[in-house]
Every structure is written in structure tokens, then in C-alpha cells.
């Protein structure tokens, strides 16, 4: 059974869902009281055009076939489901399976969404795509899709993030994209989105804004989820094939929440599956330096949607903090806010330290270097496993199954990790550069 509703204005919706309703395929624009279009009028026509193009594409067998072909022969889908037996020994002895989005082309789940949106851009006759990026993974994925489909690509990236992820800047440029460092505000993901929106409003005639997460104005949250639903569909079929049954829990990390909504979607209507979203707890939620939007935020409007938001008493956005650039965002997708309020998904913070311990553990027990973003989900899975073991005892725990969405690989994070674990020789060139700004 799903847990009872915990709080919020949408109590009772879980009951409706248990009585035969479905939480899947929510079309937007609203998810309970969240979502919508809190956007300048200048962009409404473009959002309408996008919504119309997306709805027609979804009903077009040619489009479905095009996506399926690219997923299979370009991205390398289906991604594997790998049982992590040695890692699981540290998680109360439950069985842990990793959904290997890290094995996709470009190294994360982001490719699913960019291929879909780039195809839509072509259908709309747009010749240019713009994107924001935090860690750089969405920027790299966007540059990749643009190169593949012959579109011009401009990526906005916070100057602070350009410094933290210098290699990804180089990757985007190798792929033919132009990277514009954003020096406004906190110089991170939210400011990159602001700058991309300014570009979009001025160039909307020939430009599609290839938003990288399941947030923003309608139709973005529902559309980005649609392109990532493949993660949950595959994982559900794979676990039934490999373990003979549904999992007891599904875990994912949450920044804006696109990888999470993709895998969650496959299990939303399975009441026996508990679903967990792990937010970036930064230095600890008690320090104020974190990105735990649902845990500590309040509903507000930012970047086009009503959702939980880190904000002060004046409604000014509070700067978020996380060791993971991809989770360093003070907002969250509106469908997550709804799933939190109705109690279908539990959202919890994971600190930088907890994430980095899980990062190292996966490296050493499974030979897989995860993205620091995904390491938040791994750390969460350890907690979930230990709780299950505490409830059921060792024998019971061995029967429990937890799926973790391993949303990306950690190659991009080697410099950050080397600094965190103090692995660099004090006299090395890398250590000297690291002191300047973590870049290698």
C-alpha cells in the first residue's frame, strides 16, 4: 500500500489514485495547484506552438518510430539494469539494482529529452536551439543533438559552473556549440535559465528553448517527462524479468527532477512500490547552504511554473548550494511538488558528505564511477535499505528490492572528487589548478 498523504492542499488525491485513478501521463498544465504558465506574454505564442507540435508528434507514428530508432541506435537504449551486490552489503543487505542511464551516449539520462526536443524544433522549422546547463551534461547533450540534426546551438552556463566543469565547456565547443558564461546573480543554473529566457524572447522566431529539466512553463514539465518515461518503462520490465516482481522502492536524485520523474513514472500506479526523491542537502539543511527545495522551500513562481521554491520572506530566490552542479537549483519541477503534497513520493535531503561517501563506495564495490548527482540517490538507497533491514531483519532484507536511477556517469566529476578525497599530489599541476578552481 502507498503511504497515507502527509501534508498539503492536495490531500485525498492518493485515495483517489488507490480507488482506480491513475497518476500516470498527467498532461499539465496543472499538477494539483502547481505548474501553469507564469511567463511573459511575448513567449506564450511560442509555448502554444510547442504544445501543439508536441501533441501532434505524440500521435504521429513516424515521430514515435524516429524516437525509438534514435534511442536504440544512437543513445544505446535500453540502458542496462545492473544488480549491485557488493554495494548492497552496505545498504542493510537488500537487493539493489542500478538503472544504468550512465551508459547512454553522452553519459546521462539527458540525451532522452534533447533528442525529442531537437526533433520537435525541426518540426517547427526552427534552426537554432538554446539551452541552459548546470553541470554541463544537458549542455553537452544539447550540443550533441544539435550536431546530429544540423541545428545551431548556444548554451548558457553560469560562470561559476563553467569554472567547476571546464571540461564540459570544452566538450560543448568541440561539438560545435557556443558556450556563453553567465555572470549575473549567483552565476549558476538559475541565472543560466534567466539568460536563456532573455535570448528566447528576443529570438523566438527561429529559436527553440531546449529546457533541460521537467520544470518551467507548460508544456515543458509534461513534455520533458514524456521523453524520459522510457527510463521507468524499461526499468519496470527489466526488474520483472530479472527478479520476477516489482521493486519495494525506487530512488532517484532531484535537482529540477527530470531523471526522477522519468523513472518514477513507470511505478506511480504501483501502490506497493515506495518512491523516494533525494534532494541536495549541501552542507546540511540546518546550515542554510543546501538545495533541498521540497524539504524546506515554500510554494512560489519561478521560471514559468508554480512549485516549491527556495525563497526568502520577500519572495526573492535564495541561492542554492550543492557540491553537485546539476542539483544546484533553488526550484523543482511542479509534478514533484504535487507528488510530495499527495504523499505518493517521499522527498529527503542528502548532504554533500553522504553523497561523496556513496560515490566512493560505488567506485570501490562495483567498479562504476557515478555522477555526484546520482550519488545522492545512492546515498538515499543506503538509508532506505537500512530502514528496510531494521523493519524486517536480515532474512527479510535479503528479499527486498530497491532500484536506483544511476542518472549519469562521474567522469566529469573526477576533479571535484579528487579534491574532496585529497587524492592529488600537493606538487602536481592538477593540484595547483584545482586550488584555482577545481578544474582539470
Partner 1 sequence: MTGVQNTSSTSKSAIAIDKARAEGRSALIGYLPAGYPTVEDTIAAGVALARNGADLIEIGIPYSDPVMDGPVIQAATTEALANGFAVRQVFDVVAGITSQTDAAVLVMTYWNPVVRMGVDEFSRRLAEAGGAGLITPDLIPDEAAEWMEASDKYGLDRVFLVAPSSSPERMKRTVEASRGFVYAVSIMGVTGARSSVSSAAEGVVAAAKGAGAERVCVGLGVSNADQVAEIAAYADGVIVGTALVAAIRDGGVDAVAKLTKDLSTGLTRK
Distance from CA of residue 350 to its chain's centroid?
Answer: 15
Cis, bond preceding 78 (omega within 30 deg of 0):
yes
Closer CB to partner 1, residue 197 or residue 323? Answer: 197
Has 186 been annotated as catalytic? no
Exposed/middle/buried for residue 340 (C-beta within 10 Å: 0-12, 13-18, 19+): buried
Has 335 been annotated as catalytic? no
What does each C-alpha distance from 235 to 97, 100, 238, 269, 335 come to in angstroms? 9, 10, 5, 14, 20
Query: Which one is catalytic: 110, 274, 383, 412?
Result: 110
What one-character DSSP code corresponds to residue 82?
E
Q: Does 202 bind partner 1 (CB under 8 A)?
A: yes
CB 101 within 8 A of CB 406: yes
SS3 128: strand
Count of positions on this chain that bind partner 1 (CB under 8 A): 36
CB 376 within 8 A of CB 280: yes
**CA 440 – CA 437 distance, rounded (Å):** 9
Query: Which one is catalytic: 75, 337, 374, 407?
Result: 407
What does the buried/exposed string (b/e) look like for 124-159 if buried means 16 or more CB atoms within 10 Å of the residue's CB? bebebbbbbbbbbbbbbbbbbbbeebebebbbbbbb
SS3 288: coil
Q: Which helix (H) or strand (E) holds 194?
A: helix 189-203
CB of 180 to partner 1, least distance (A): 14
Among 21, 27, 205, 393, binds partner 1 (CB under 8 A): 205
Distance from CA of residue 356 to its chain's centroid?
Answer: 18
Among the listed ranges 88-96, 247-255, 279-287, 301-309, the one in contact with partner 1 (CB under 8 A) is: 301-309
Closer CB to partner 1, residue 221 or residue 408? Answer: 221
Q: Does 39 bind partner 1 (CB under 8 A)?
A: yes
Q: Is the dihedral of CA 217, 218, 220, 226 positive or negative?
A: positive
Among the listed ranges 104-112, 185-193, 341-349, 359-367, the one in contact with partner 1 (CB under 8 A) is: 185-193
Closer CB to partner 1, residue 86 or residue 298? Answer: 298
Q: Does 313 bind partner 1 (CB under 8 A)?
A: yes
Q: Does 50 bind partner 1 (CB under 8 A)?
A: no
Among the listed ranges 62-70, 127-135, 191-199, 408-416, the one in contact with partner 1 (CB under 8 A) is: 191-199
Among 303, 376, 383, 400, binds partner 1 (CB under 8 A): 303
Within 8 A by CB and 6+ apart from 126, the residues are 151, 206, 207, 208
Q: Does 41 bind partner 1 (CB under 8 A)?
A: yes
CB of 196 to partner 1, least distance (A): 9
Cis, bond preceding 427 (omega within 30 deg of 0):
no
Has 42 been annotated as catalytic? no
Among 14, 23, 26, 46, binds partner 1 (CB under 8 A): 46
CB of 202 to partner 1, least distance (A): 4
Touching partner 1, residues 59-78 (CB under 8 A): none
Among the listed ranges 58-66, 315-323, 343-351, 427-435, the one in contact with partner 1 (CB under 8 A) is: 315-323
Among the listed ranges 14-22, 104-112, 200-208, 289-297, the one in contact with partner 1 (CB under 8 A) is: 200-208
**CA 238 – CA 98 distance, rounded (Å):** 11
Q: Does 383 bind partner 1 (CB under 8 A)?
A: no
Nearest to 333 by CA among 252, 226, 193, 224: 224
CB 26 within 8 A of CB 326: no
Closer CB to partner 1, residue 196 or residue 280? Answer: 196
Closer CB to partner 1, residue 147 or residue 201? Answer: 201
Closer CB to partner 1, residue 63 or residue 329? Answer: 329
Q: Is the dihedral of CA 224, 243, 98, 327 positive or negative?
A: positive
Q: Which residues are catalytic?
A: 110, 132, 407
Contacting residues toward partner 1, per CB under 8 A: 36-46, 48, 184-185, 190-191, 194, 197-198, 201-205, 298, 300-303, 309, 311, 313-317
Amino acid at each position: 500500500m502507498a503511504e497515507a498523504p502527509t501534508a498539503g492542499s492536495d490531500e485525498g488525491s492518493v485515495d483517489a489514485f488507490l480507488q482506480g485513478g491513475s497518476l500516470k501521463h498527467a498532461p499539465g498544465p496543472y499538477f494539483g495547484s502547481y505548474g501553469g504558465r507564469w511567463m511573459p506574454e511575448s513567449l506564450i505564442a511560442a509555448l502554444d506552438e510547442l504544445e501543439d507540435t508536441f501533441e501532434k508528434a505524440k500521435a504521429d507514428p513516424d515521430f514515435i518510430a524516429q524516437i525509438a530508432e534514435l534511442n536504440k541506435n544512437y543513445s544505446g537504449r535500453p540502458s542496462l539494469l545492473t544488480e549491485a551486490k557488493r554495494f548492497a552489503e552496505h545498504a542493510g543487505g537488500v537487493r539493489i539494482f542500478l538503472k544504468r542511464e550512465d551508459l547512454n551516449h553522452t553519459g546521462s539520462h539527458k540525451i532522452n529529452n534533447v533528442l525529442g526536443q531537437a526533433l520537435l524544433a525541426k518540426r517547427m522549422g526552427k534552426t537554432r536551439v538554446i539551452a541552459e546547463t548546470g553541470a554541463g551534461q544537458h549542455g553537452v547533450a544539447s550540443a550533441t543533438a544539435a550536431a546530429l540534426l544540423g541545428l545551431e546551438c548556444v548554451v548558457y552556463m553560469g560562470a561559476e559552473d563553467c569554472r567547476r566543469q571546464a571540461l564540459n565547456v570544452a566538450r560543448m565547443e568541440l561539438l560545435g556549440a557556443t558556450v556563453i558564461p553567465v555572470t549575473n546573480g549567483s552565476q549558476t543554473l538559475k541565472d543560466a535559465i534567466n539568460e536563456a529566457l532573455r535570448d528566447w524572447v528576443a529570438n523566438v522566431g527561429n529559436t527553440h528553448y531546449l529546457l533541460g529539466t521537467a520544470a518551467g512553463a507548460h508544456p515543458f514539465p509534461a513534455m520533458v517527462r514524456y521523453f524520459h518515461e522510457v527510463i521507468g518503462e524499461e526499468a519496470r520490465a527489466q526488474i520483472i524479468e530479472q527478479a520476477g516482481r516489482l521493486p519495494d522502492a525506487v530512488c532517484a536524485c532531484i535537482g529540477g527532477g527530470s531523471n526522477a520523474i522519468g523513472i518514477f513514472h513507470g511505478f506511480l500506479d504501483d501502490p506497493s512500490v515506495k518512491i523516494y526523491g533525494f534532494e541536495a542537502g549541501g552542507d546540511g539543511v540546518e546550515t542554510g547552504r543546501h538545495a533541498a527545495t521540497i524539504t524546506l522551500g515554500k510554494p512560489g513562481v519561478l521560471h514559468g511554473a508554480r512549485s516549491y521554491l527556495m525563497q526568502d520572506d520577500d519572495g526573492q530566490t535564495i541561492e542554492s548550494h550543492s557540491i553537485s552542479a546539476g542539483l544546484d537549483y533553488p526550484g523543482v519541477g511542479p509534478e514533484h511538488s504535487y507528488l510530495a503534497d499527495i504523499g505518493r513520493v517521499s522527498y529527503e535531503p542528502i548532504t554533500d558528505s553522504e553523497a561523496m561517501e556513496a560515490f566512493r563506495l560505488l567506485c570501490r564495490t562495483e567498479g562504476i564511477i557515478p555522477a555526484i548527482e546520482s550519488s545522492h540517490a545512492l546515498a538515499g538507497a543506503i538509508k532506505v535499505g537500512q530502514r528496510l533491514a531494521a523493519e524486517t531483519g536480515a532474512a527479510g532484507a535479503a528479499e527486498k528490492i530497491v532500484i536506483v536511477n544511476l542518472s549519469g556517469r562521474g567522469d566529469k566529476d573526477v576533479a571535484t572528487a579528487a579534491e574532496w578525497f585529497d587524492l592529488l599530489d600537493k606538487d602536481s599541476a592538477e593540484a595547483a589548478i584545482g586550488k584555482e578552481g577545481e578544474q582539470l
